[in-house]
Chain A
Amino acid sequence: MDDLARVLAAHPFLAELDPDHVKFLVGCTKSVRFRAGDHLVREGDREDTLYLIRQGGVAIEMRRAGGEVVCVETVGAGDVIGISLLAEAASHLDCRARESVVAFAIDSACLLRKMTEEPRLGFALAMRLLARTYERLSRARLQHLDIYR
């Protein structure tokens, strides 16, 4: 358990989080591995897991009419998948492993429970999720402008 807490604390998303809070999260967390082509998230599914990517690349994809798959962003080590956790929304896109991916999988229901039980942890994680959401929104807006056309 201590080993998991140590490696969990080393993930950039949890950097400088109170060590007691990291230990508190361990109970919700497991280490997972995906093969290239596996989906971490599928469009329409409830996102019930927050993934902290440790290794490998993930394509965030959407399907155009007719089924053509378009990758709108790639993320990798240090990034987070499943940030709609707080919105309790179904995913609007697919997240597919482009190569072998190693991640921490944090159960969303368990995480939300812990965040409620320990408001300081809840605040700290909510701020981090918000920061990641804002960064992704900024990038999406820039892409939306189609500036290279």
Chain B
Amino acid sequence: MTMTSPYVPAPLAIARAVRELDDVFTWTFDVPGGFAFKPGQFNMLYVHGVGEVPISISGDPAAPERLVHTIRAVGVVTRVMDKLGEGDVMGVRGPYGSAWPLDEARRRNVIVIAGGLGLAPLRPAILGLLAHRADYGRITILYGARTPGDILYRQELETWRGRFDLRVEAIVDHAGRDWFGPVGVVTRLLDGVPVTADDAAFVCGPEIMMRFAARELANRGVSRETIWISMERSMKCGIGLCGHCQLGGSFMCKDGPVYRLDRIAPYMQVPEL
């Protein structure tokens, strides 16, 4: 798919809509010509007459003919989206933003830490890592969710967990007795993971979780130069012009959402940024 202008959304019909959780759904758009993107990038999705929101791409970068978005119904636009379904037409423009550094991570161990819906922007990166499994050292996926019922892509996590060349651990904030996995904060999972100074870490989730995770990784010796996080702000134009998502000297839609920790950390603690 080729965009005629970065401001003009292309009409795409929802080919498949899947309910993931009570308030989370996944849409797949068929794009016969392919929609090339890099893991970590996002699109602006436009609901005609309602508004436009930035949504991370959750699909497989090796299958560009299927554009996939996982969305939580949390604001005005996404709540309207929640009522739409197969056959409805959306405006799509993108892809925008920076990507998870899969090339830079080659030959390193990779630790992926995701929290809640933060697994969605990381899914393309995980699929990319697995597609070139031999290029990487140990791959560890640590996932935190609110409850067992809030675990995203549960079936796929189970599939990944069944692989012998990958370690997958999930933890929840609280659970009943029918949950046999660990309970606690996602950083607890790091206790059982061998970590070396030059490991690469990809972290995505609520900002406070990312701060804690980054701190824990740093405490274990991982360099801030090999930790990447995906930030979230209210992107509008998507091309670094409107300034809506400005963070210090950076425009998150263009320079982010994926940042190397040492470049973004100073801004993470600044009030109202």
Contact = CB atoms under 8 A, between A and B. Distances in A.
A148 B146 CA distance: 6
A139 B183 CA distance: 11
Interface stretch (B12-20, B36-44, B173-181, B235-243): B173-181
Contact of A148 (B173, B180, B187, B188): B173
Interface stretch (B53-61, B123-131, B205-213, B259-267): B205-213
A147 B116 contact: yes
Nearest to B115: A148
Interface string A48-74: 000000000101100000001111111
A142 B205 CA distance: 13
B232 interface: no
A143 interface: yes
A142 B209 CA distance: 8
Given A98-B180, A147-B206, A148-B144, A71 B116 contact: no
Interface in A119-149: 139, 142-143, 145-149
Contacts of A139: 184-185, 187-188
A149 B187 CA distance: 18
25 contacts: A69-B177, A70-B174, A71-B174, A71-B176, A71-B177, A71-B179, A71-B183, A72-B183, A73-B184, A74-B183, A78-B191, A98-B180, A139-B185, A139-B187, A139-B188, A142-B212, A145-B208, A147-B116, A147-B205, A147-B208, A147-B209, A148-B116, A148-B145, A148-B173, A148-B206
Interface of A: 57, 59-60, 68-74, 78, 98, 139, 142-143, 145-149
Interface of B: 115-117, 144-146, 150, 173-177, 179-180, 182-185, 187-188, 191, 205-206, 208-209, 212
